[in-house]
Amino acid sequence: MDLLLTGGAVFLDGCFQNLDVAVSNGRIVSVSRSLPKEGFSVIELHNRCLVPGFVDVHVHLREPGFSYKETVFSGTAAAAAGGYTAVCAMPNLNPVPDSLERLQAQLDIIRRDAKVRVYPYGAITRDERGESLADLSTLAPHVPGFSDDGRGVQSESVMRRAMALAKELNRPIAAHCEDESVLQKGWAVHDGNFARTHGLPGNDPASEWRQVERDLRLVEETGCRYHVCHVSTKESVALIRAAKAAGLPVTCETGPHYLILCDEDLLDEGRFKMNPPIRSAADRDALLEGLLDGTVDCIATDHAPHSAEEKSRGLRGSLNGVVGLECAFPVLYTELVKTGIVPFETILNALCVNPRKIFGLPGGRIEAGQIADLTVLDLNRPGVIDSGSFRSLGRATPFDGWGVSAAVALTLCGGEIVYHNLQNPEEVKP
Contact in structure between 358 and 429 (CB atoms under 8 Å): no
pLDDT reported for residue 195: 97
Can you tell me the mean pLDDT for 129-138?
98
Helix (H, G, I), strand (E, B) or coil at 181: helix
Which amino acids are annotated catalytic? Answer: 302
pLDDT in tens, 209-228: 999 999 999 999 999 999 99
Q: Work out the angle between the directed axes of helices 234-245 and 281-293 (0-180°, nearest 10).
A: 20
pLDDT in tens, 264-288: 999 999 999 999 999 999 999 999 9
Q: 295: which DSSP letter?
A: S
Domain ranges of the chain: 3-50+370-390+401-429, 53-359
| Residues 402, 305: Cα–Cα separation, whole Å | 19
Residue spans of beta strands (DSSP E) within 194-275: 202-203, 226-228, 250-254
| Residues 181, 183: Cα–Cα separation, whole Å | 6
| Residues 252, 176: Cα–Cα separation, whole Å | 11
Contact in structure between 88 and 359 (CB atoms under 8 Å): yes
Q: 10 Å Cβ neighbour count for 338?
A: 14
| Residues 57, 128: Cα–Cα separation, whole Å | 19
* Domain 53-359 -> CATH class: alpha beta
Can you tell me the mean pLDDT for 89-112?
98
pLDDT reported for residue 429: 59
Torsion of CA 382, 393, 307, 255, to 10 degrees: -50
- As a whole number, the mean pLDDT across the chain is 97
Give the CB-side neighbour count of residue 328, counting CA atoms within 13 A. 31
Task: Please check the confidence at residue 430 and state whether its pLDDT lies above 70.
Answer: no
pLDDT reported for residue 196: 96
Task: Please check the confidence at residue 424 and state whether its pLDDT lies above 80.
Answer: no
pLDDT in tens, 313-335: 999 999 999 999 999 999 999 99
Helix (H, G, I), strand (E, B) or coil at 283: helix
With cut-offs at 50, 70 and 90, classify the pLDDT of residue 192.
very high
With cut-offs at 50, 70 and 90, classify the pLDDT of residue 426.
low
| Residues 362, 86: Cα–Cα separation, whole Å | 10
pLDDT reported for residue 236: 98
Can you tell me the mean pLDDT for 191-202?
96
Name the least confident of 7-16, 142-151, 339-348, 416-425: 416-425
The verdict on domain 3-50+370-390+401-429 having CATH code 3.40.630.30 is no
Name the phi and psi angles at 241, rounded to 5: -60, -45
pLDDT reported for residue 1: 77
Q: Which of 221, 184, 218, 229 is nearest to 202 (CA)?
A: 184
Task: Please check the confidence at residue 190 and state whether its pLDDT lies above 70.
Answer: yes
